[in-house]
Amino acid sequence: MQNILDQVYEQAVQYTRFGKVADYIPALSLCDGSQLGLAMATKDGQIFSVGQAEQRFTVQSISKVLSLAYVLTVSGEDEVFARVGKEPTGDPFNSIIRLETSARRKPFNPFINAGAIVVSGLMPGATPNERIERFCHFLADLVGQDNIVIDATVYQSEKATAARNRAIAWFLKELQLIDGEVEDTLDVYFRQCAVLFSAVDLAKFGLMLALDGWDPCQKRQILIPRQARIIKSLMTTCGMYDGSGEFAVEVGIPAKSGVGGGIMATVRDRMGLGVYGPALDERGNSTAGLEALRRLSNALDLRVL
């Protein structure tokens, strides 16, 4: 398995030159676009990695999977999907047009920014600090870490340049999909996006989803199977921004990307995969990461679709 991962790395790392790092969040523009890290966690508990797989980076939109897992656990499925849909949009992740034009009057899914902001607003706690502390405690338990670190520089950079997200959030408030103060909900959202994970961490989380919520490393059930299956289904249809359909055709496994360069993928009953490659395509997906997952899917016959 390590040999296959090494070979895929050597082939995929060439694709970093076809992308560029995110610059709409100024702090992310400082990332090294030539980097690539790949990690694989198998159902027998083995971890394989290559490149910058141990380097921590901000998860950005992958946090939408993490926050959904948390809120499903603490609030339940009915509470979440009363305010957020389960359908793909085909629009960019930060689009606002569907909120204005759809008769649904709620975000189409939890993995676009509008849906993720609603989910962040459902986190329990009296203050933003209390909400994010409880969330980070959940994440630490999820991946078996002592503590979860938030990149303060990226958090502040994102908070200072978030005009589009503020417009989305205020529209959500008008639709009565956010309770409490808009800025409090946004503060939680910006902080969750700045959580630091590595590709290895993502692979471990992906493995837990692959096993329907069972963590073979900690030997316990983290999520109930229904929650894990909801998340994987949404990852399949909505996880790769407006490139989700193409990814399903070319790679064929549930995955979620983030503009920090991460991709977390899961293969039912087999493995979890984590990627770090901050050079992005025009949709916000890692160019080298996409190529690596395509090659791994072909080499190991991973596709589940």
Q: Which of 8, 21, 259, 275 is catalytic?
A: 259
In whole angstroms, what is the distance from residue 66 CA to residue 138 CA?
9
Catalytic, 259? Answer yes
Phi/psi at 50 (5° precision) = -155, 155
On whether the CB atoms of residues 99 and 83 are closer than 8 A, the answer is: no
Catalytic, 61? Answer yes
Q: Which of 13, 50, 61, 155 is catalytic?
A: 61
Catalytic, 9? Answer no
Q: Which of 189, 195, 204, 276 is catalytic?
A: 189
What does the chain look like in DSSP terms, one character per residue? -HHHHHHHHHHHGGGGGG-B---SSGGGGGS-TT--EEEEEETTS-EEEEESTT--EE-GGGHHHHHHHHHHHHT-HHHHHTTS------S-TT--HHHHH-TT-S-S-TTSHHHHHHHHHTS--SSHHHHHHHHHHHHHHHHT-S---B-HHHHHHHHHT-HHHHHHHHHHHHTT-S-S-HHHHHHHHHHHHTBEE-HHHHHHHHHHHHTTTEETTTTEESS-HHHHHHHHHHHHHHTTGGGHHHHHHHT-S-EEE-TTSEEEEEETTTEEEEEE---B-TTS-BHHHHHHHHHHHHHHT----
Catalytic, 21? Answer no
Question: Computed from CA positions of residues 299, 226, 62, 177, in that sequence, does the dihedral angle turn out positive or negative?
Answer: positive
Catalytic, 80? Answer no
Q: Which of 9, 64, 95, 297 is catalytic?
A: 64
Q: Which of 9, 155, 241, 276 is catalytic?
A: 241
Return the active site residues: 61, 64, 189, 241, 259
